[in-house]
Every structure is written in C-alpha cells, then in structure tokens.
Chains A and B, each alone.
Chain A
Amino acid sequence: MNTNTVTASSVPAVSGLDRRRFLKHAALASAAAVAATRSGLTPPAQAVETDTRWDKAPCRFCGTGCHVEVGVRDGKIVGIRGDAKAEVNKGLLCVKGYHVGMILYGKDRLTQPMLRRNGRMEVITWDEAIDVVARRILAAPERFAVYGSGQWTVAEGYASQKLMKAGLANNHIEPNARLCMASAVTGYLSVYGVDEPAGCYDDLDTCDVLILWGNNMAEMHPVLFSRILERRNRGEKIRIIDFSTRRTRTSEFADDYLEFRPQSDLAIANGIAHLLIRSGTYSKEFVEKHCAFKTDTAEHTLDGRPISFADYCRELEAYTPEKVEEISGVPAEKIRMLGELFGRKDVRITSVWCMGMNQHARGTNINRLVHGIHLLSGHWGRPGDAPTSLTGQPSACGTAREVGTLCHLLPGGRVVANPEHRKQSEAIWNLPEGRLNPKPGYHTVQLFEKFCTATDKGGDIQTLFTQVTNPGQSLPNLHKLFKSKQGLEDKFLIVCDVYPTATTELADLILPAAMWVEKNGIYGNSERRTQQWFRMVRPPGNARDDCWMTIAIARRLFELGHPGMKDKEGKFLFTFKNEKGEEVPVWEWERYYDVNVDRALFEEYRLFTRLKHKDLAPYDEYVKARGLRWPVVQQADGSWRETKFRFMEFDDPYVKKGAGIQFYHSVTKDDRAQVWFAPYELPPEVPDAEYPFWLGTGRVLEHWHTGTMTMRVPQLRNAVPHSYVEMHPSDAAEKGFKNGDLVKLKTRRGELELPLWISGRGHPPRGSVFVPFFDERIMINDLTLDAVCPVSKEPDYKKCAVDVQRGSQRSARPPGPTI
C-alpha cells in the first residue's frame, strides 16, 4: 500500500504531531475501535488526547438511543464519535448523530429570559421571570397547564409531574409524546395489561423476517436498519417486508413492497388472522395456554368486550384475501403469502412500527391487531419473534410513559383515577391523604383547544407552560389549535426553549434553556433502556436547566404561600441534601449543581417503578453502563441484571418457574394476553371531488421533527434545505406540473404553497401526496386534521383530503432537496 497507509496501533505520541495529523490518527483509531467491535474482536486502544475530554451520552435525537462519545476542549464540543461500547449502535451513527454536537452552536441561541410588554419582547431577570410564572399559577392554579416532551429528561419530567400533580393537584400536564406514541401505549395496555415492548433490538439480530408496518426505518431509525443490512452483508438471509402507503428508501431494500390504501392496514391484519384460522395454522398451543379474546365496541374503550374464540373467528370471516384486496389494494395473493408466512413455525418474525401505526384514527386498534397476529400465530416469546413499537423521541418511553407525564397517569404505570395508586403515590411523596386529584386532565388536543378558546367561551386553560417542544409547528390543524391564541388577551404562553421557534412567536414569556450535554440527564429509549449522562459544557448566556426552572417556580410558589408546595410535614416538596445531610437551596441557580439533582430525583422516582415490574437500578449503575433495560433486578451477589425479554422465563426474573411465558399483568388476571378483533373502518376524512388527493406527512433522514436543531447544522440544512411536496409523475403530468413548480395544497383547514418534487426520494402512489413537517417556513400542520384515535387520543397526521393546484408564484427554490 502507498505512503498514506497507517494503522491505529502505530499512532505515535501526541506531542510529535501537528494538530491535523493527530486528528487523522484519532479518526483512524475511532474507526478501528468500531470495526473491531463489529467484527467481534478486541478494540485497539484509542489514541490519548491530552487536551480533549471524551464522555458518553445518548444521542439527542430519535428514540433509537444510540450512544455517542462527546469530545470537549476548552469548554466546547469539538468531536463526536459513535460509542463502540454501546450495544444499541455498536459505534455507528446516522448523519444526524455525527452532527449532534453542532446543535448547541446555532447563532441564535436564546440566552436571556424575555417578557412581552406592549407587544415587544424585553429582556428581564430570572428572578422576575420565575416570579411572573409563579404569580400566574397562583392567580388560578386550576387554569394552569404544562405541555412537555418526550425529550424531557427523566428528572425534568418527574419534577414537572410532581409540581403539577403532587403540588398543584392539577392533572393538566401532557407530553408531546401524545402526538407520537399514545396509540402504542393503549395497544400494549389493552393486550398485555402493561405498557412497552416485551422484546428489544436483539430481535433484529435473530429474526428471519422483518415486517415494517408503515415504518420508513431506513430514514427514521437508520442505525437499526443498518443493523439489519449488515446481517445481509454478512451473508445471512433476512426477508424484509415493507408495508407502506408510499415507496421510501426502506422500500429499496425490501423483498416485498406492499402498498396499501390509508387506514386499510386494519383490513390487512384481519386478513392475516382470517387465513391463520381458516388454514388451521394458528398456534393452538399458544392460544390455549396464553390468550383470551376481546373485541372493540362502538364506545371504543380501552377495555373493550370479552368474546369467545368462536366469536373471534366469526368476526374474521368477512376478511377473505379478496375482500382485503378490495379494501386495501394489496393483491390477494400477497395477503395469502403473509398468512402462510405467519403460519410457518420454522421462521422468526419481527414486526416493527412507529408513526404509521400510531398516528392513525384507529391507532389503538391497529396496534392491537398486529400484536394479535403474533400471538395467534405463536410468533411471540422467542428472540426474533416479536411485535415491537419504536419511538421517535429519545425519552418518549423513559419520561412520557414510565415517569407518567400523560394527563391520566402517575409515575410507574399508575393512574390518577385509581384510589390505591393515588394512595401509593401520596405515601412516596409524603403528601396529606387526598391531595392527588382523581380526575384526568386534558389530553393534548383538548388542552390546546381550551387554551386557544376564549375564557368566556369555555376555554378554561389560561396559562400554558411549554418545555422542550415546539407545538406551534407540531400540533395538527395549527390555525385552530395554536394560532388562534393570538388576540386572546387573558391567555399567557410561557415557552422554555433553546432557539426561537414557531412557538416562541406567540410566547408572552420566553425562558432560555440548557440543552443536551449542557445539563445532566437521563433518557429512556424504545427498548426499555435507561441511559444517563453528565453535563459536559456550560449553556450560553443566562440559559438554565429546565429542571431548575421547575424547582425554582415551585420554590417561589412556596414562598408566596401556596399550600401544595409543602408535604404533610410542612417541608418543601423539592428538598435536597448534600452528603453531610445539609439542605442545599438548589432553587438558587448558583447552588443547583452543588448536589446532583438528577440523582436525587431519580432515586425518589425509582421507588415508583416496582409496581409494574419496571424496576430501575440505582443511579450510579447507569453512570457505569451504556444504558440498562428494565426490569433491572439485583442479583444475589449484589450486581444488577437487566432484562432483554419480558414475560419469558428464560430471561425475565418475574416469570414463575415452569410457566415458560407468563403475562403477569394480564387484564383478565389469568396470565393471558388479549387477542383483539377490530373492524376496518373508514378514516374520518377521505378524498372527494373537492379535495381529491390523500395528504400524508412525516419526516426525512436529515431533519429531526420540527427542524429547530437540525436546520441550524449547515450540513443537514444544506442536504435538505426546505420542505417540498412529493407527487406521482402521472398526477403531476395530468395537472401540467413540472419538477420544482410551486403548487398550492388546500384542505378544509388551510392552504399552503410549496415546491413540487417528482420522482424524488419518496414515491407516493397516484392520488396521494406527501409533505415533511420539519420546515417552519412551510407549515404543513396548518393543513392536517386534528381527528384523534378515540382510545389513545393521538391525532392522525397520515391521512386527510387535500386539493392540489398550481401555485400563485414561480418557485425560486431548486426542485426538491439537493441530494
């Protein structure tokens, strides 16, 4: 080889290199470490950088939970590398992941609290800002609401939950995770009696068939998809079946691409179950031992109605392959292929899904049905045989679902409506009996309706406090659910964020926040893995931790005499002590890091986690690990062991010996999971003469959610600089559109002009268009529908009716992204 060739082990001493040469050697060493880990070899030693400190953190973006190593020099992030020690990503990162360090350094970081006075934002002090919030709450505690996030750290969500539910006896708190995974929650609850997947990413390493239910994994969970493709590269056979309403990058790698009409996945799942019954290839043993049956009802409740197996079979009779083809557009022979596949015992099948199934007017039902065909066929309970939902945010599981920041929950899977759960929570929080409010608060769509409706017309939420989220861009039907706040004089919007956003546009008070490794944190990813990191750099200007803000507000309320800020002994709800047992006033920012508030809150929260067997280890165990999957149970030797596969005797310590599989949170109290029937139903809005196209929305690889972080990273922004609409070439030709033309989309809720991208990255079928939602200049959620799943209350962003016409202007933009 030529003179450019070096080996990682030949890295000479740092002092003998110039900076650039040293960085090259460090890069080779990182690559060697990852290559060795992925090849099952011992990683070589990394080059020692005396001036750069490296520490672990989970990536800030999606729910995959990749670990990165963050290099810090002179108080600034200077490098990101995939963490070869992390099981999730084994050193790999996606294009967003290796740019994650740059999200801190947008030039327009918010650095000072600002209050709107006479229509203008004016800089104020933190003392003033905290006082303003506290006095707004004190004026009408029951009309105050918090809207948080699946990007909240566990401690942030827990503190906010405690302030609201324990302190104010107010359940109007929601995370934005309501918009992305609430249907997965209701699916798990109604099938297994407890939330979150039984399997984990290890299933991806052992399945023979991977079915992607409306999940563009190549773009949305690219590191997990690489894990699959790497198996193929190693020569393993893995069949990928891509169910989708449009061709995506994922489809390019699929063995079978099955395009279905919006909402008809319900019919397809029923069609598979129909064939399993008809052919007798369902697993009689699994069903007899482990399953009971239920049906959805006209009232669409979480509990449904029990039915017999015979009733279940009768309900499915209508879903013949031909009928399913008629409804879905998927050929009957493909439905038969799927029925035969699930009927085979010699293959392992993993189903995964994300927003395609969750943001669905019948999101709970399609979740139930997919779990159902796995249970019915017995493709459940072995590594590689699993139905698993993926999440889109880094702590949708950890903070929204486990901490329980949804409006009906208490920590650890408890619900506010259950007297015993309230009693347990009051005991842990040392509250007077009866403090907790038994009535669930408003779910997200209701909450914003109430906030954006005049008080004298029933809009009984007056002050809304948002943290770590951007509802001004991410809510559906934005004119109704967000923009109509404008002009409502008695409504007050408090926004904590790191950058100006569509939400700060309407804010009355802006609080500048620290982000990611500017603060301590804990996230919980899609596979029940709890991940911890430490603060590595300081936030800019006067930006501060979200958790500190919550505690400081609580303290100000305490000082102003709000009785709820005291426990039953009169002590402040957020009391922290140092190692000497001295109380530390962490509500004073200068003292906040005198103790590890995250550790203290986490240890308190841990007490809640055992009821539903979601046991967490002590905080310090997570400091040592690249995350641990719950339940994490202490062993006889004092060590802590994670659980990869729940309800399975070979791995889950809570399964009774000899049971094999035990659904120990069964809603029928007999250790059985529920196999549901739910019919195909029409979506709430379908194309018609006036609005003849389907509109679907979603994400792209390079941008994360509303783009507030990724649009500030030049590499990502330049890759996909603006939003666009994808359309089938024949539809475009019929309308006389060319690539790059500006077109107008119009729904019953609004209209929007944006450039057309024909035959680009995604390929919608005839009669449908697709628009990503990351671009704050092209707010597609002005047009989307706010209809929700009746059980989960999650909105359906994936289908509504739209008209497409020529735009009023010519586009100055290039036709679609530059890649």
Chain B
Amino acid sequence: MNRRESHVSPRDPVVGGVLVRLADDPAHRQAALTTLAEHPAITLGEAIGDWWTLAVEAENASEGRDLHSWIATVPGVDWVEVVSVHFEGMAEEAGPSPAVEVMA
C-alpha cells in the first residue's frame, strides 16, 4: 500500500443549489440581488418564503468553495445554505489521505 501518492484528475463542472436569506432592508436586498445576478457563475432563481434560490456553477470544487464564501460576503446577504451539489467529475478529484507528509 502506498499511502503517499496523490491524484488529481480532469474535472467536470460543479453545480450547486444554494439558498440565501437577504437583509430586511429593501435597498440592501435589491443591491444583493443585483450583485448576485450579475455574477456570471450564478443563476438567480426565485423567492420562496424567506429564501432566494441560486444555482452556482464552478469549474472545479475549489472554485465552488470560493464562490460560496464570496456569496456570504455580499452586502445584503444574511445567510447562505448549500442544499445540493452535483459533482459528476468531482469524484475523480478524490485522492488518498496525505498520510505521511514530512515536516520540513
């Protein structure tokens, strides 16, 4: 067993379903919606109850995580929840545990 090797393979897009809760203030809400809608990787869905639905598209998992973090920082966004991840190619990214890295 080789516990040291590492694998990263070609990837497909990562597509996530996301819920955001926006601020109560109408101006802040509108500003947030505009910012989110303008982002090329985000598809704005509809308002349901307290939530807005988003589809978030990224070229890989790392970019997806960054995008998730960015959404949380958009002024007027109070709360972000990820509810689904479609990761057809991401399974190929999974690697072994980085078992015995040596501290330099």
Contacts and interface: CB of A to CB of B under 8 A. Distances in A.
A39 B48 contact: yes
B83 A34 contact: yes
A41 B48 contact: yes
Contacts, number: 218
B55 interface: yes
Contacts of B86: 23, 26-27, 71, 78-79
Contacts of A106: 94-97
Contacts of B27: none
Contact of A708 (B33, B78, B97): B97
Which bucket holds chain A's interface residue count? 35 or more
B98 interface: yes
Contact of A8 (B3, B45, B82, B90): B45
A109 to B, nearest CB: 9
Contacts of A418: none
A36 interface: yes
Contacts of A82: 83-84
A1 interface: yes
A40 B43 contact: no
B88 A31 contact: no
B96 A712 contact: yes
Interface in A206-226: 226
A4 B33 CA distance: 11
Nearest to A223: B81
Interface string B40-66: 001111101111011111000110110
A809 B103 contact: yes
A817 interface: no
B50 A707 contact: no
A82 B17 CA distance: 10
Interface stretch (A95-103, A313-321, A342-350, A679-687): A95-103
A715 B65 contact: yes
Given A27-B55, A106-B96, A233-B78, A36 B83 contact: no
A89 B1 CA distance: 38
B94 A105 contact: yes
B19 interface: yes
B97 A712 contact: yes
Interface in A29-84: 29-32, 34-36, 38-41, 71, 73, 76-82
Nearest to B8: A714
A717 interface: yes
A28 B91 contact: no
Contacts of B42: 4
Interface string A474-510: 0000000000000000000000000110001000000
Contacts of A80: 84-85, 87
Contacts of B3: 108, 500
25 contacts: A4-B43, A5-B44, A8-B46, A24-B15, A25-B55, A26-B17, A26-B86, A27-B56, A34-B17, A34-B81, A35-B49, A39-B48, A41-B48, A78-B88, A78-B91, A79-B87, A81-B83, A81-B85, A82-B84, A105-B94, A499-B97, A711-B98, A715-B62, A717-B97, A810-B104
Interface of A: 1-2, 4-8, 20, 23-32, 34-36, 38-41, 71, 73, 76-82, 91-93, 95, 98-99, 101-108, 121, 226, 229, 233-234, 499-500, 504, 707-708, 711-715, 717-719, 721-722, 742, 753, 776-777, 809-813, 819
